[in-house]
Amino acid sequence: MDFITELSKIIAKAAELPAEEIAPAIETPADTKNGDFAFPCFRLAKTLRKAPPLIAQDIASKIEKPDFVTDIQVVNAYINFYVNKEDTVKSVVAGYIENGTEIFKSSLGEGKTVCIDYSSPNIAKPFHVGHLRSTVIGNALKNIYTALGYKVVGINHLGDWGTQFGKLIVAYKMWGDKETVERDDIKELSRIYVKFHEEAEKRPELNDEARSWLVKMQEGDKEALDLWKWFCDISMKEFNRIYDRLGITFDSYAGESFYNDKMQAAVDEIREKGLLTTSEGAQIVDLEKYNMPPCLILRSDGGTLYPTRDISAALYRKETYDFYKCLYITALDQNLHFAQWFKVLELMGYDWAADSLVHIPFGLVSLGDGKLSTRKGHVVLMEDILNQAVEKALTIIEEKNPDLENKEKVAEDVGIGAVIFDDMFNSRIKNIVFDLDRMLNFEGETGPYVQYTHARACNILKRNAFDTLAKDIDYSLISDEASVALCKAIGDMGDKIKEAADKNEPYIVSRQLIEVCKQFNRFYNGKNIMQCEENEKKARLALVCETKDCIKFGLGLLGINAPESM
């Protein structure tokens, strides 16, 4: 039963208001002493011209109490509803028995496409810790939107064009060789790229040479393009190795170079619509009246810039995918950049730009006490972080469960899961400080704690020789306080997934997973299932099975594996 929908109908009838206005206001009190659901009447004060407590009393007096409600109490401006415990449990467990994890999904986004632009590393540069947040937040949002029925297009907008390639070609010709690059791949490309900048400080003419190679690339010079493609292939080999470990895939790798032949049309359109003005030789869109600096479209030498490319990409994606939303997962410091070119698209007459284009910013990553080591000095490689997390997880497993099968695979799942979950546990705007000891704590609000709870549920089912869900369950046998609290936590997961999409905040799913785990451990510690009589055991094992699948589903949304043994 959807209690909120049913309660909204009952309240609406008594208040003589539309049910769709009531449903969004219904709350779930943090303290069950205040009911299972509550309707605050503050918002009705202006319409009904009465004090909220009087409104609550009036509406409550007219409510026809349904069978699933055991009590209705008015506390100040709140109408509190107490739901029959057996009905609460049945609504959650029976739905799961009938539909499995489909109960956590929705058709909310049916017929709508969401594009998500995330990760987007620069070619020929190492995949470092700075790429982590965009990558895992974007992947989680992709999974969350998919669960809600949206068609999701994951886009890796690679930094695969620009002056840096001219610099890299010069560096390769002066200090590189094919054999070393093929052996050391991106590490060697990074080394010679750094060397170019060091040498260019002493010999500025190297920058002119780099620009000439970029011009050759733009003009289709075979040698220049062959080297460019080679550098791209080497980089993608490393990136894909990291993505494979993270379990992340993309639907499009259309990077900056993809839009080379599409930018002129965008520039022409901006000019035709009278938006371009000249400033110190550059072509800009003046945004002073919108309290923003000008948006640069063309440099004084005619070269394009990031806004030019981003505007072209948005127009292409709208035409190709007809997206309902296009999300951009980048750091907070890019807020102005996105606000500027979003506004340019609006000024071009594209009304969808105001509502459909969404910048999703996130905070910084820092290393805290510096426990993480790196082979690259100030550049902390993503692979180093993953390796150290996995090694530490393996050490913990060796101490706690040395006979565990597939220890290396479990350590991989736990170590990488710990890094991802830690990123997802707080609002994305909050800065992240790496602390492997905290991340890998099996007793804190961490990924390993959630994974361990899943493994514990799997073990309970295994020890009780559980193989199939029974349909003839006596729900009165699991209407105790701990069972009801667990069912509520599981039952809230679907709404939390919707809320996570609405706010573009994966942490909402993470926090709900912690709540499910806390309530499950309370349920598990409260009664030994193996000592229960058969009917109660059957009911409790059904709830254990649902908990296991709920945790696995939730972890999957975050991009984390759920080991069955730990």
pLDDT over 70 at 372, yes or no = no
pLDDT at position 125: 84
pLDDT at position 369: 54
For residues 484 and 85, what is the distance between their CA atoms, to the nearest angstrom?
A: 7
Asked if 124 and 144 count as a contact pair (C-beta separation under 8 A), the reply is no
For residues 159 and 328, what is the distance between their CA atoms, to the nearest angstrom?
A: 15
> Residue range 285-294: average pLDDT?
97
pLDDT over 80 at 563, yes or no = yes
Structure tokens, 414: 């736990």
pLDDT over 60 at 375, yes or no = no
Alpha-carbon 506 to chain mean position: 5
pLDDT over 80 at 14, yes or no = yes
> Residue range 351-359: average pLDDT?
97
pLDDT per position as a tens digit, 178-196? 999 999 888 899 899 989 9
pLDDT at position 373: 41
pLDDT per position as a tens digit, 414-430? 999 999 999 999 999 99
pLDDT over 90 at 471, yes or no = no
pLDDT over 70 at 151, yes or no = yes
pTM listed for this prediction: 0.91
pLDDT over 90 at 524, yes or no = yes
Asked if 423 and 132 count as a contact pair (C-beta separation under 8 A), the reply is yes
Sheet containing strand 357-362, edge to edge, reads 151-155, 113-117, 325-331, 357-362
pLDDT per position as a tens digit, 26-61? 998 988 889 999 999 998 998 888 999 999 999 999
pLDDT over 80 at 371, yes or no = no
pLDDT per position as a tens digit, 401-418? 999 999 999 999 999 999
pLDDT at position 93: 96
Structure tokens, 137: 């937040």
pLDDT over 60 at 374, yes or no = no
pLDDT confidence band for 1 (50 / 70 / 90) = low
> Residue range 442-455: average pLDDT?
96
* Mean pLDDT score across all residues of the chain: 93
pLDDT over 90 at 433, yes or no = no
pLDDT at position 470: 82
Which residues belong to the active site? 125, 128, 131
Ramachandran quadrant class, 368 (left: phi over 0; alpha: psi -120 to 50; beta: rest): left
pLDDT at position 130: 82
pLDDT at position 376: 39
pLDDT over 90 at 498, yes or no = yes
pLDDT over 90 at 166, yes or no = yes
Residue 227: CB atoms within 10 Å: 19
What one-character-per-residue DSSP string does 315-379 give? HHHHHHH--SEEEEEEEGGGHHHHHHHHHHHHHTT-THHHHHEEEEEE--EE-TT-----TTTTS
pLDDT at position 379: 66
The domains found in the chain, sorted by start residue, are: 3-83 (3.30.1360.70), 114-272+305-362 (3.40.50.620), 382-558 (1.10.730.10)
pLDDT confidence band for 381 (50 / 70 / 90) = confident
Asked if 341 and 405 count as a contact pair (C-beta separation under 8 A), the reply is no
Q: What percent of the chain has pLDDT over 70?
A: 98
pLDDT over 70 at 113, yes or no = yes
- Report the length, in residues, of the chain: 566
pLDDT confidence band for 348 (50 / 70 / 90) = very high
